[in-house]
Amino acid sequence: MLIAGFSFAWMNACVKFMPHIPIFEIILFRAGVTFIISYLILKKKKVYPWGVNHKFLIARGIFGAFGLICYLYTMQKMPLASAIIIHYLSPIFTTLIALMFLGERVRLIQWLSFIVSFVGVIMVKGFSNVDTFDFMMGIAGAVFTGLAYNAIRNMSGKEDADVIIFFQPLVALPLVLLYAIVFPSQFVVPKGMDWFYLIATGVFTQIGQYFITRAYQADTAARISSISYVGIIWAVLMGKFLFNDTYTIAVLFGMLVVLSGIVLNLNALKFTKQLHTLKEYLLGSNS
């Protein structure tokens, strides 16, 4: 998840470097690059590319595509860190969906950690004057992302990670191609460094998708999803030094609150055991 977060951070930076390129066009190039890389990897590994869990593979592709559209929209409309902070509501939805459909256990202290993180996100929204429509697009992207990650969890141990990655561009490509055909006048011809950023977006996405897919196949959604919050650190640093984004003390404090929720979630099991030990000690003392 740490490697995935670092890769996605550079993918986000590439998107921010192309504010003049339409979202559908960025997705088109990104999907094209990841499609080619994924197919070549599957061919080299001699893995059957079409998988066996078609329902969840297609669901992962559809939810991932719509989540990406919403995410890139906010990426172009907001400061880098603010867009990522709102997107990081996705672990809350990931956990809720996993609780309802996968029956995963969520400890009380984990719920507390998500509440803390959610409060931090609301603080960032409130103090950074984020447009309400842009904020709702970010929320929608987080919901779709949560659905996509749970589709991955449903295929844990049943599907090759590279097959799952392959279905993301396989589903996204027809959607953006259809949009390009219906609205051809919106296409912007890339120039100069645009080509580098477009290709790099696909490459960093491929790296990030591989490691995030392996992570979700290896552990519970509640634990894995929380680690993605580390990307906030990369977002603040890149926003400051690459795009001259400015953040007030209040916004930075909101981000700190979000990170506090992460630490609480990652140490949920240890804290639960410590509380249980303290409870037994107090009961023993009273008796």
- Read off the pLDDT of residues 39-54 as tens digits, 9 standing for 90 and up: 999 999 999 999 889 9
Kindly report the pTM of this predicted structure. 0.78
Q: Domain-by-domain residue ranges, the chain?
A: 2-286
**For the ranges 98-107, 185-194, 217-226, the one whose mean pLDDT is highest:** 185-194
Q: What does the pLDDT look like over 262-275, one tens digit per residue?
A: 777 767 666 667 77
Percent of the chain whose predicted confidence (pLDDT) is above 70? 90
Q: What pLDDT score does 201 carry? A: 93
Q: What pLDDT score does 184 carry? A: 80
Q: What pLDDT score does 161 carry? A: 83
Confidence band for 147, pLDDT divided at 50, 70 and 90: very high
Q: Say which residues have a Cβ less than 8 Å from residue 93's Cβ, sequence separation at least 6.
A: 142, 143, 145, 146, 147
Average pLDDT over residues 132-154: 90
Residue 239 CA to residue 246 CA, distance in Å, equals 8
* pLDDT over 60 at 287, yes or no: no
Under 8 Å between Cβ of 75 and 205: no
Which residue did the predictor score with more confidence, 236 or 141? 141
Q: What pLDDT score does 90 carry? A: 80
Q: What pLDDT score does 17 carry? A: 92
Under 8 Å between Cβ of 59 and 151: yes
Residue 110 CA to residue 47 CA, distance in Å, equals 38
Residue 78 CA to residue 138 CA, distance in Å, equals 10
Q: What does the pLDDT look like over 69-106, one tens digit per residue?
A: 999 899 888 888 788 878 877 877 887 888 887 777 77
Confidence band for 279, pLDDT divided at 50, 70 and 90: low
Confidence band for 21, pLDDT divided at 50, 70 and 90: very high
Q: What pLDDT score does 63 carry? A: 94
Residue 62 CA to residue 171 CA, distance in Å, equals 6
Residue 144 CA to residue 155 CA, distance in Å, equals 17
Confidence band for 59, pLDDT divided at 50, 70 and 90: very high
**Average pLDDT score over the chain:** 84
Under 8 Å between Cβ of 204 and 14: yes
The upper half-sphere exposure of residue 33, i.e. CA atoms within 13 Å in the direction of its Cβ, equals 20
Q: What pLDDT score does 149 carry? A: 85
Which residue did the predictor score with more confidence, 115 or 276? 115
Which secondary structure element, helix H or strand E, spans residue 249, and what is its range? helix 249-266
